[in-house]
Structure 1
Amino acid sequence: MGPDPAVAAVRVAVRQALDAVTPGALVLVACSGGVDSLALAAALAFEAPRNGRRAGGVTIDHGLQEGSDERAARLVRTMADLGLDPAGSVAVTVGQEGGPENAAREARYAALDRSAARLGKAAVLLGHTRDDQAETVLLGLARGSGARSLAGMPPAFERPSGARYLRPLLEIERATTRRACEVLGLEPWDDPHNEDPSFKRVRVRNEALPVLEKTLGPGVTDALARTARMLRDDADALEALAKRAYQDLLTTDQTTQTTKASQSSQISLASQSSQASVELLAEEGLPVEGLAELPRAVRTRVLRMAAVEAGSPPGTLAAVHVDAVDRLVTAWHGQQHVDLPAGIRAFRRYGKLLFGTGLPPRRVQQ
């Protein structure tokens, strides 16, 4: 007799994720002790040795609630009992920047990055489910953040640190992970923050989604997750086009103005440092004519890439900023510049769009 269907579903999802991991490598599960990550930890402990991988676990103690250190210690023992080795906890200090949810997330990922680097992992597994994906899509819709935000959470991504993350449970319902924990005799911890209505995600989970299910009928969660998958394909294709266009536009002057450098000193785009790109954006910029020829969906992505490359933080660079920069290309009537987060400015000069921290000229000529 095989395992309970819920247990089998989680194990199959983990088994498929492990196919992308090098045999013999260490895979870590980020475990909070909730139903999703606990079911994921149990599945990883079962599947990894049967698929030639090593399995470990780590929990992050945010220190936001009394007794969090004791809960972390108990969870470490649970992970070890499941067969995860190494199993440990990391205490972090949560700041205030960007609000409590964002600050906790940043602290958590930074700690996971460090743990992954220290242990020499191949991947870190996260327990986000289909329900989490639906909530993310609704939050993105409320922000009006565009296709990339509505595409939700990707099944795999890499952090700037080089740490690689996988989300095996994005096609699994939360009810399935809860059932898996019950069958396996695991006792998940229900974080009180998950019921705190001061958090937007909690209100979406407990208020918005139930209303949508009642008004539109069952299946809203599945539909939102399915929409995310389709939009992710579209967003990936558009971003690939935008990256190619950005590279071509950024290096236009480099390839045509050979008097600025000898043949031996010229470098290809693939080997350019980030600092070299920043200098190009500030000194040569992007040709307005070339930008204007691009479809808007591609052009706005190019402009966002340029702003981020110049030093504007992607987390605070909003659509309203990008739209204002786009008007320098498509609706320019002498406006001097656009202020972007982190003191970056975009301004138009002599048919170029420049990005940097310097002041624009008082008189803009075309």
Structure 2
Amino acid sequence: MLTFLQRFPTGFEATYSQFDFSRRQAVLLAISGGSDSLALLLSFDAWRRIHAPHLSLFAVTVDHALRPEAADEAERVAQICAEHRIPHKTLRWEEAAKGSALSQRAREARYALLARAAEQAGTDLVLTGHTQDDQIETHLMRKARSATGYGLSGMAAATLYRRRLWIVRPLLTHSRQALRDYLCSMNQAWLDDPSNDDEAYERVRVRRAVAKMDAAARADICSAIAKAQAFRARLVDDTVSLIRTNASPVEPSGFRLVMTSEEACIHALRVLLAIAGGGSFLPDEGRVRILTHRAVNGERVTETLSRCVVQAKDGCVTMKRERRDLPQIALEQGSVLWDGRFEITTQVSELLWVAAGDDCMPKVVTGAGGAGDTALERVQIRPVASPFKDRLSGLDWPLANAVAQLLGADAPPALPYSGHDNGIVLT
């Protein structure tokens, strides 16, 4: 067997050194046994033994229980990890046969299982084996859906899952073929997932098309992705500046935005509307663009958008949650997300109920149906930036940080890059 020094491929130094492992004691690595994740496992293990020997590495395989051979494949991955003295655990999804939207549920289950395993391992970071090929495929699939600049920027190298787990993709600049060449140089076989041959899936069809591309075609697409990411970075920076100068809170939980004709103003308005309405997705760009045009031209407008009552007057737009579809939910010891806008936490074991007060703010009582005594003193209520609560692309981190300051919400965790500490680049 090759030593870890022999397993470390040239050209991977910057791949891993760009991330900050110095403040972490452990890292989780998701491995399916395919070439991408296996190359990630072996190359990262070699790198961390040299550059981060304090760092414990734990490998995990998610068995979605969708194919009968999946359990055997997970066992083979466990054997490979054992050969390289890397602790391994298989996580099994038990809900596969229940419900529709299987692919979406499987993806969400995978990340939920990884988040739980990361917490048990004492880390907030999981490495995944997404490659340059995956990035190209994602770009082409979004382009086919008529996505423009912002949507064509592809996957970020780091994404925050549910405000607590960084999903890190170190291999986005490495081609699948280069990773396979690396494995072949070590005489290391990998597993092939038969679902990757099923052309019923869009990604499989796109993947086969990408595999036939020559180097020039790949380079052109990578250049387009880089330009889209640069556009997104400029838009985010401009939006952050505009929010800091033109946006202000409106009691009890709305916003006021002084309008301009800049593209950043449209993006800022979309983000603030989503937050004020508790929505996970930004409102339709076309409608917001029209609203922006009318507001900048001094028109008076009153309409509903993104679960908000929106009023434009004197070149400003004010948005507040409309009094419609406000939930009533039970709260026991722990935390719940209410209306997409507030996280409510209690340490008491008594059953509480959270409903809406007259001002569309949460009202906590001891009885269902709004009855019983108020119990606000028994809970903590924190505002939440809804578009960023489940997934926060590292590309949007500055924007999420700016709106957290505007909301008085908790700032997102620092990006997992070397030299980054809550928005301050350390030198």
Whether 1:328 aligns to 2:291 is yes
2:243 counterpart letter in structure 1: Y
CA contact (8 A) 2:7 2:186 kept: no
1:303 counterpart letter in structure 2: L
CA distance in 1, matches of 2:236, 2:99: 28
CA distance in 2, matches of 1:239, 1:113: 28
Q: What is residue 49 of structure 2 aligned with on the other side?
A: 49
Q: CA distance change for structure 1 residues 103 and 147 in 2, over 3 Å: closer, same or farther?
A: farther
Whether 1:116 aligns to 2:118 is yes
CA distance in 1, matches of 2:11, 2:40: 7
CA contact (8 A) 1:328 1:348 kept: no
Whether 1:29 aligns to 2:2 is no
Whether 1:16 aligns to 2:13 is no
CA contact (8 A) 2:24 2:123 kept: no
Shift of 1:336: 5.2
Q: CA distance change for structure 1 residues 13 and 75 in 2, over 3 Å: closer, same or farther?
A: farther
Shift of 1:130: 0.9
Instruction: State which of 60, 63, 74 in structure 2 corresponds to 1:61.
Output: 63
For the residue of structure 2 that corresponds to 1:43, the secondary structure is helix
Shift of 1:133: 0.9
Shift of 1:120: 1.1
Give the alignment of 1:1-366 within 5 angstroms: 8-9=9-10, 11-12=12-13, 14-17=15-18, 20-22=20-22, 25-51=25-51, 52=53, 53-85=55-87, 87-92=88-93, 93-94=95-96, 99-121=101-123, 123-207=125-209, 209=210, 213=213, 218-251=215-248, 279-281=252-254, 285-287=255-257, 290-291=258-259, 293-296=260-263, 298-310=264-276, 311-314=278-281, 317=282, 321-331=284-294, 337-340=303-306, 344-345=307-308, 347-348=310-311, 350=313, 352-358=317-323
Q: CA distance change for structure 1 residues 230 and 325 in 2, over 3 Å: closer, same or farther?
A: closer
Q: CA distance change for structure 1 residues 305 and 68 in 2, over 3 Å: closer, same or farther?
A: same
Shift of 1:338: 4.8
CA contact (8 A) 2:38 2:190 kept: yes
CA contact (8 A) 1:36 1:127 kept: yes
* The structure with more strand, counted as a fraction of residues: 2
CA distance in 2, matches of 1:299, 1:97: 41
CA contact (8 A) 2:7 2:46 kept: no
Shift of 1:203: 1.5
2:280 counterpart letter in structure 1: P
Q: CA distance change for structure 1 residues 23 and 358 in 2, over 3 Å: closer, same or farther?
A: closer
CA distance in 1, matches of 2:23, 2:321: 45
CA distance in 2, matches of 1:124, 1:10: 22
Gaps of 5+ in 1: 254-275, 360-366
CA distance in 1, matches of 2:309, 2:85: 54
Q: Deviations over 1:192-235 (max 9, x none)?
A: 2212112111111113x367x4xxx6422222223223322331
CA contact (8 A) 1:49 1:55 kept: no
Q: CA distance change for structure 1 residues 78 and 220 in 2, over 3 Å: closer, same or farther?
A: same
Provide the aligned length of Structure 1 versus Structure 2. 314
* The structure with more helix, counted as a fraction of residues: 1
Q: CA distance change for structure 1 residues 45 and 134 in 2, over 3 Å: closer, same or farther?
A: same
Using the size of structure 2 for normalisation, the TM-score is: 0.65
- 49-58 or 345-354, which deviates more: 345-354
2:17 counterpart letter in structure 1: Q
> What percentage of aligned pairs have identical amino acids?
23
CA contact (8 A) 2:130 2:169 kept: yes
Shift of 1:308: 2.8
Q: CA distance change for structure 1 residues 89 and 14 in 2, over 3 Å: closer, same or farther?
A: farther
Superposed CA RMSD: 3.2
Q: Deviations over 1:261-295 (max 9, x none)?
A: xxxxxxxxxxxxxxx8xx432xxx324xx22x141
Q: What is residue 259 of structure 1 aligned with on the other side?
A: none
Using the size of structure 1 for normalisation, the TM-score is: 0.75
